[in-house]
Amino acid sequence: MAAEVPEDEHIDVLPEDLQPDLVDPEEYIFPNNNRRRIPGAMYVVIALGLVALYLIRGDGVLVNKGLLMAAVILGVVGIYSIASGANLDVDERDALKVSINEVGFPVGHASAQMGWRGLMSRPVWRILLYSAEEPPAKRGLVLVDGVDGSVVEALVEANPEDWSDVVDGERIPKTE
């Protein structure tokens, strides 16, 4: 049961237009990492336009070497954005299947989060899994590459969390 919140207390919530409208989880599609190619291409086009403007107008008061420096910066950022826009081919369900095979125990609860690794910002799914027992005896963290579905890293351990004060899903306060 949710606790009552006083009216004068601020609570962080997503604006209505950002709330996910999930009727069916199959309908939700995680935004693809390759969208960075669009602004990257725009930066490269603007950089080429600045170079062309400098070549046409020459070195003057309004058109000068500062435009060339801006073109170089925009060009480098644009090329990096295009190069780092790897296509996200593995969705969270596929990553979860790979993770379950990797940890080697029956999975109860699991959670998926998108992250990025390395200088080229390669998309990686971070999957946190708990074993199916109540309370869970094991937990695992598996990093699954979002491009090819390979396991980047995996950690499986006994669950160190203390569940002794939880009864029927409710935490019972300890008395001293």
Residue 24 maps to a domain: no
| Integer CA distances (angstroms), 88 to 26, 104, 109, 150, in order | 17, 26, 24, 13
* DSSP element (H, E) containing 83: helix 65-83
Higher-pLDDT residue of 13, 88: 88
Q: Which range of residues forms the domain containing residue 100?
A: 92-158
Residue 63 maps to a domain: yes
The residue among 43, 66, 83 that closes a domain is 83
Tell me what pLDDT residue 93 has: 86
Residue 105 maps to a domain: yes
Checking if the pLDDT of 47 tops 90, the result is yes
How many distinct structural domains can be found in the chain? 2
